[in-house]
Amino acid sequence: MPARKLTFIPGPIEFSDEVLQAMSTPSEAHTSPEFVAVFQEALKNTRKLFRSTDPSTQGIVISGSGTLGWDLAGANLLNKGERALVISTGFFSDSFANCLKVYAGADKVDVLKAKKFGAVVENSEIESALQKAKDDEKPYSVITITQTDTSSGVLSDVEAISAIVRRVSPDTLIVVDAVCATVCENLEFDKWGIDFTLTASQKAVGVPAGLSISFASGRAIEKALSKKEPVGFYTDLQRWIPIMRAYESGKGAYFATPSVQLVHAYRQSLREILVGPVTESFSKHKDASDHFKAKIAGLGLKFVPLTDDIAAHGLSVIYFPEGIEGPKFLSKVAGKGFTIASGIFKGYQDKYFRVGHMGISAIGSRKQELDQCFEAIKSSLEELGYKH
Q: Residues within the annotated binding site?
A: 354
CA distance 264 to 14: 17
Q: Is 160 left (phi over 0), alpha (psi -120 to 50) or beta?
A: alpha
Cβ neighbors of 61 (< 8 A, separation 6 or more) are 39, 42, 43, 46, 211, 212, 213, 214, 244, 258, 263, 266
What residues form the annotated binding site for substrate?
354
Strands 148-149 and 154-155: antiparallel
CA distances from 38 to 25, 52, 262 (A): 12, 20, 11
CA distance 211 to 90: 23
Nearest to 6 by CA among 377, 365, 316, 334: 334
Nearest to 248 by CA among 73, 107, 48: 48
